[in-house]
Amino acid sequence: MTDKTWIDLFVVELRLRRVPGSAIGDAVASVRELLADSGQSAEEAFGSAREYAASLDLPVVNPRQRALQVVFLPVLGLFAFLVFAVASTAWFAGDLVLLSVPQAALLAIPVLLTVMFSFPFYPRAVFPQRWIPSALILVAGLVSAVAALFAPSTADDAWLAFSALPLLIGTMTVLVILSVVGTIATIRGDDGDEIIDPSRARQQTKPRQGRRAFLIFVNWLFPLLAIVIFAMTWGFALLRP
């Protein structure tokens, strides 16, 4: 195992233990300093990343706050976006939002993939393999597209039926509120999850500003994608004979 891989696993383990980013930065800097002085590999000097992370006495984030930030809010945003996409199609078709059991099961898969990050074994398996997160995103997108093939054609065939307009308004409202809350937290600089090397903190002003701009963009990603989906659905509706 390379030192870089060991440190990546070490960071994952500290994340799973709800250690804030600033403390993780200090711990990683200490590891790198000792490795540079001793000439040993990380595994020789510290043993397994999991055991060494467990041996450290570091501050932790409130578990409820962590669950809210890492699991609940992303899942809520993803669910609202999926419902908005389905409601957009129904709105321009002049139909109710009809949902079948297979369609609901398929749409639940992206939500389930996100919820699984609350279980330690899942991120331990995902994050060390850099291709897996990209594969999960691709799977979520494909599953959402396939779900449209199982949409019922009539209300009699549907498991659930809803009016499209309230769903459009409600889900977009949720997406905007989540984005505003995330943006306010980012602007206030309350980013305790950012890992900063203390030896380079003074030289990281511009990168941190770039990170802040990126986080603001990510906060608004779901509403922006929802607008794109709405516009595309509108365009397809206009092209229909």
Same domain, residue pair 70 and 23: no
Q: Which domain holds residue 145?
A: 63-239
Same domain, 119 and 18: no
| d(C-alpha 239, C-alpha 84), whole Å | 21
Task: Tell me what pLDDT residue 52 has.
Answer: 93
Instruction: Give the per-residue pLDDT at 189.
Output: 58
Question: Which DSSP helix (H) or strand (E) runs through 99?
Answer: strand 97-99
Percentage of the chain beyond pLDDT 70 is 83
Q: Is the pTM of this model over 0.75?
A: no
- DSSP three-state, residue 207: helix
pLDDT, tens digit, 9 for 90 and up, residues 98-152: 888 988 888 888 888 777 877 777 777 776 666 676 677 777 778 877 877 787 8
Count of domains in the chain?
Answer: 2
CA distance 52 to 167: 48
Q: Are residues 118 and 195 in the same domain?
A: yes
1-27 tens-digit pLDDT: 788 889 988 988 888 888 887 788 889
